[in-house]
Chains A and B, each alone.
Chain A
Amino acid sequence: MLLEVRRLTKRFGGVAAADDLSFDVEEGSITALIGPNGAGKTTVFNLISGFLRPDHGEIRFAKRRLEGRRGDIVARSGLVRTFQTPRVLTRMSVLDNLLLAAQDQPGERLGLGWIMPRRVARREREIHARALEMLDLVRLRHVSDQYAGALSGGQRKLVEFARALMVMPRMILLDEPMAGVLPALVLQLLDHVQDLRDHRGVTVFLIEHDMDVVMSVSDRVIVMDEGRLIADGPPQAIQNDDRVIEAYLGPAAQSESSGKGPRETPRG
């Protein structure tokens, strides 16, 4: 197991946003985390990625304990996240957004640019080539020189996706990667996600509201409701799980729904 979460708990005042959660994410899988609004999905992402400190519980990534470590350490260990509302660096160019994310640039150390200018320049060329490759992947090369702040919401999502890949992650956490992205691009992005796993060996863990996406792309689905894990299994089993249907549609709807699976309107 690449990621192992055990008894993870986080309370905000009286509300348990994550309540004794235990689950695994298998290396080389695409795993989806779903649940109604307010179920605590983003909190789980924040806990895993080091942006929140858990009250209890363990997080193991590639056998390394990660709970309570700083976000940048988590990212450098190969576990990289994106955000629900994309966080692009608005007054920097799209290209710079990507260049920033590369690791092992000795020039990021103060003054090393003077001591070893050639190594810095060589690494910069490598990073640059890779950034252009990533921009081609998300079809944004034509805007590489524009300010990232001038892009649309969907394009920003793509920039963030590409930027996360620049870190060379072993596992990527995608928080609603498809929300606000042009429908035609969604299919492309889905391809990329699958390609990541198939050809680059990246493990994908994603929060997604679009059930068609979840059911078509993921190997496994984890369902949360009110901070607790209520189901965990392959998509087909989840679609027909009574507790999942109840969580999404309320107890009364259980008898009416049959095999259609839970569906929810994405929150803008």
Chain B
Amino acid sequence: MDVFNPAFWTFVAIMAGIYVVLALGLYVQFSLAGLPNFGHVAFMAVAAYTMAILVVRAAMPLPVAAIFGLVAAVALGCLLGIPSVRLRADYLAIASVAAGEMVRYLATNLSWLTGGPLGSVGLLGPARFVSYNAGWQDLLDRLSRALSSVLGSAATPDRAMLLVVWSLAGALLWVFRRLERSPWGRVLRAIREDETAATAVGKHVAAFKLQALLLGAALGGLAGLLLAWQIGVFSPNDFEPTLTFYAYLILIFGGMNRLWAIPVGAAVFSLLYTGTQFLTFFPLSLVDSGSRAFLRLFSVGFLLVLFMMIRPQGLLGNRRELLLEK
């Protein structure tokens, strides 16, 4: 891959935008309401699979299937949240890890429904390759044609996707910024700080936590849909638990409890993650590409550790806030 290939950087920027939506969901749950969700990827997977299955099997129009995808993600949130929001946070952490893995294993093993390890191309069995993505490609084509009147030949479907993803991400950031600053957001922050104190002043803690969990689930589902449309084909391996941790990295990187740090964190993370692919020069050129792949992941981890040592509050975080005991 060429460093100066613009198509590559468009791809990186689209992924960064999808990460913004994903991390925003986690922000609502974890940074606002203090809910440790370690299975965020499950909401992505459930939404993506629901959408793809409905498009391919039920021949549903894409927008309708997408809405059902989001509903499925929220339903999973209910399943996970209703029994666990009344319990201590640690139980939700465990339940959510398990939910994330269960969704992935179910997707791998319920071949008749999900296409199994083959993923979305095998939705109707291994003999007939199918795609759910025609509707989305159509939409991007039309959008890029519409844009070409303004942008000329610079308007490509990829760039249309970039525009869609980042407009969506920007709009959602704005909406949640307003929610965060509303009295509703104040109650959530109070719950994050001390549930007992929030209860003592008359707030129904479990209800607020469930709201945050479900909003986060819907955002996770939306990120899953965008990812599915972006990559065109997906399999259970695209919903590894590491995705959840990327979202956490983005929150930590940008600065905990800072909404506007999410796009910054997502940009830095994407640069770090993809940029290290170009570390092919001497002395790294001495090792073969297989070992370099491991070196690359190692260097991502090393840079992260170094960063957290130097700047534990993240790029835009508040160090004083970090030092205050809870």
CB proximity to B under 8 Å, residues A73-128: 73, 75-76, 80-83, 87-92, 96, 99-101, 103, 105, 107-110, 113, 120, 124
In the assembled complex, A57 has its CB within 8 A of some CB on chain B: no
Q: Which among B1-9, B112-120, B123-131, B196-204 touches the partner chain?
A: B196-204
In the assembled complex, B320 has its CB within 8 A of some CB on chain A: yes
- Note all chain A residues with C-beta closer than 8 A to B298: none
Are the CB atoms of B193 and A105 closer together than 8 Å?
no
Are the CB atoms of B201 and A164 closer together than 8 Å?
yes
In the assembled complex, A3 has its CB within 8 A of some CB on chain B: no
- Note all chain A residues with C-beta closer than 8 A to B320: 147
CB proximity to A under 8 Å, residues B185-243: 186-187, 189-190, 193-194, 196-205, 211, 215
Type the 1/0 row for B302-326, where 1 means its CB is closer than 8 Å to any CB of A.
0000000000000000001100111
Q: Which among B138-146, B162-170, B176-184 touches the partner chain?
A: B176-184
| Residues of B in contact, count (CB < 8 Å) | 29
Give the Cβ gap from A106 to chain B, nearest Cβ, in Å. 8
The binding surface of chain B is classed by DSSP as: helix
Partner of A91, one of B193, B198, B204: B193
Q: Complex formed: what's the CA distance from A71 to B203 in Å?
A: 9
Are the CB atoms of B211 and A89 closer together than 8 Å?
no
Partner of B204, one of A72, A90, A167: A72
Q: Complex formed: what's the CA distance from A103 to B183 in Å?
A: 11
Are the CB atoms of B183 and A75 closer together than 8 Å?
no
Give the Cβ gap from A122 to chain B, nearest Cβ, in Å. 12
Are the CB atoms of B202 and A75 closer together than 8 Å?
yes
In the assembled complex, A150 has its CB within 8 A of some CB on chain B: yes
Closest to A112 in B: B184
Closest to A120 in B: B183
- Note all chain A residues with C-beta closer than 8 A to B189: 89, 91-92, 96
Give the Cβ gap from B15 to chain A, nearest Cβ, in Å. 30
Q: A107-B182, A113-B182 are in contact. Are A89 and B202 (CB under 8 A)?
A: no
Are the CB atoms of B201 and A91 closer together than 8 Å?
no
- Note all chain A residues with C-beta closer than 8 A to B193: 89-92
Type the 1/0 row for A123-158, where 1 means its CB is closer than 8 Å to any CB of B.
010000000000000000000000101100000000
Give the Cβ gap from B9 to chain A, nearest Cβ, in Å. 37
Q: Complex formed: what's the CA distance from A163 to B199 in Å?
A: 12
In the assembled complex, B257 has its CB within 8 A of some CB on chain A: yes
Give the Cβ gap from B155 to chain A, nearest Cβ, in Å. 34
Are the CB atoms of A96 and B186 closer together than 8 Å?
yes
Q: Complex formed: what's the CA distance from A192 to B264 in Å?
A: 48
- Note all chain B residues with C-beta closer than 8 A to A70: 199, 204
- Note all chain B residues with C-beta closer than 8 A to A75: 199-202
Q: Complex formed: what's the CA distance from A51 to B194 in Å?
A: 14
Closest 9 CB pairs of A and B: A149-B324, A107-B183, A75-B202, A89-B193, A101-B201, A87-B197, A71-B199, A76-B202, A113-B182
Given contacts A49-B200, A80-B202, 10 further A-B contacts (CB under 8 A): A70-B199, A75-B199, A87-B200, A91-B326, A92-B189, A110-B215, A113-B178, A120-B182, A149-B326, A163-B201
Q: What are 20 A-B pairs with beta-carbon distances under 8 A?
A: A49-B200, A71-B199, A72-B203, A76-B202, A80-B201, A80-B202, A89-B189, A89-B197, A90-B324, A91-B324, A96-B186, A100-B198, A107-B183, A107-B184, A113-B178, A147-B321, A149-B325, A149-B326, A164-B201, A167-B201
A residues contacting B by CB (< 8 A) are 49, 51, 70-73, 75-76, 80-83, 87-92, 96, 99-101, 103, 105, 107-110, 113, 120, 124, 147, 149-150, 163-164, 166-167
B residues contacting A by CB (< 8 A) are 178-179, 182-184, 186-187, 189-190, 193-194, 196-205, 211, 215, 257, 320-321, 324-326
